[in-house]
Amino acid sequence: MLPNFLVIGAMKSGTTSLARYLGAHPEGFVTHDKEPDFFTRPDRYAMGLGWYESLFAEAGDAVARGEASTSYTKFPRFHDTPQRIAEVLPDVRLLYVVRHPIDRIRSQYFHAVLRGKEARPLADVLAAMPQYVDNSRYGLQIDYYLEHFPREQLLVLTSDQLRNERVATIKRVYQFVGVDPEQVPAEVFSEFHTTRDRPGARPFDQRIQAVPGRSLASRIAPSPLKSLYKRFSTRRVEDLQAAAELPPDTLRRLEDDLRQDVARVRVFLGEGFDGWGIA
């Protein structure tokens, strides 16, 4: 049994929440491994379709079966992903969640820093690693998929829609993947997503929650040490915020660079889309 829908990205845009909402539907199933990356990771792809099908062994009679791998919209780093998907799943429904492209870049940067994979200021990272910006070129990613799939198999959403118009948006999603849109599970009406992956959550305000050891320290440390640790944690968040700031000229160049791509995204989001103040 293979999937009939994929959440293809974008990274740090609310895909975890969307996958959970899809899996919570009575007629839906999402793999336990949220990001199998089957079509992008050479080691996973080498395991073959048998391994990929095994991820859906517990789907039973689910009408909508899917997975969510944000690496599927990381062109040109993974340049043959849409072609691979089309060869195996020609009729698959594709869901793509996007957010303000510069906010997404910062969120990816925070993620890398807090995992110990990055220590440079964001401006230096962007100069050395173009994939940060490429991952926010949503129009580019969309056009690459449309070379292999018809337009009607792609649904583009924004993280703002997931946050501010959640129930209506999820009903659209349910209808798109072929399940009853009126069977909205209770989780959709609540804050089902965690703070860290909440669409549109302000990353600066949330990073203190991710400081290593914070939870343990809050339980066992004496009050003076708690106060010291809090000051240390706050300082770390402030340092992270400072590292993520971009010089005004760099920010302007980045917005100019993304403007045409954002205009392309408008085609898929309609005239009500404000272009994030970029286009």
| CATH number reported for the structural domain that contains residue 10 in this entry | 3.40.50.300
* Residues β-bridged to residue 5: 66, 93
248: three-class secondary structure by DSSP: helix
pLDDT at 189: 87
Residue 212's pLDDT band, with cuts at 50, 70 and 90, is very low
Q: Assess if residue 255 is contained within a domain.
A: no
Q: Assess if residue 252 is contained within a domain.
A: no
Residues 239 and 269 in one domain: no
Residues 58 and 188 in one domain: yes
Q: Assess if residue 97 is contained within a domain.
A: yes
Under a CB-based contact definition with an 8 Å cutoff, are residues 134 and 140 in contact?
yes
Sign of CA dihedral 139, 141, 143, 146: negative
The span from the CA of 150 to the CA of 53, in Å, is 24
The span from the CA of 19 to the CA of 215, in Å, is 27
Structural domain range at position 233: 202-246
Q: Tens digit of pLDDT for each residue in 168-204?
A: 999 999 999 999 999 999 989 886 544 343 333 444 4
The span from the CA of 15 to the CA of 8, in Å, is 8
Residues 73 and 141 in one domain: yes
Sign of CA dihedral 75, 80, 83, 87: negative
Mean pLDDT of 39-47: 97
Residues 206 and 195 in one domain: no
Residues 163 and 217 in one domain: no
Question: Which of these, 192, 195, 193, 12, lies nearest to 99 by C-alpha position?
Answer: 12
pLDDT(214) > 50: no
Residues 268 and 242 in one domain: no
pLDDT(122) > 50: yes
The span from the CA of 38 to the CA of 141, in Å, is 18
Those residues with Cβ within 8 angstroms of residue 209's Cβ, 6 or more apart along the chain or in another chain: 195, 196
Residues 189 and 238 in one domain: no
pLDDT at 239: 85
Residues 109 and 30 in one domain: yes
pLDDT at 191: 60
Q: Assess if residue 222 is contained within a domain.
A: yes
Residues 195 and 216 in one domain: no
Under a CB-based contact definition with an 8 Å cutoff, are residues 51 and 2 in contact?
no
Q: Assess if residue 254 is contained within a domain.
A: no
Domain count, the chain: 2
State pTM to two decimals: 0.85
- pLDDT above 70 covers a percentage of the chain that reads 84
pLDDT at 241: 87
> What does the mean pLDDT of the chain come to?
89
- pLDDT above 90 covers a percentage of the chain that reads 79
Q: Tens digit of pLDDT for each residue in 243-277?
A: 999 999 999 999 999 999 999 999 999 988 999 99
Residues 149 and 267 in one domain: yes
First to last CA, the chain: 42
- Residue 9, CA distances (Å) to 62, 86, 105, 271 in order: 23, 17, 13, 22
209: three-class secondary structure by DSSP: helix
Question: Which of these, 1, 141, 126, 128, lies nearest to 62 by C-alpha position?
Answer: 1
Residues 13 and 138 in one domain: yes
Q: Tens digit of pLDDT for each residue in 218-235?
A: 444 455 555 544 554 665
Mean pLDDT of 15-44: 97
Residues 122 and 227 in one domain: no
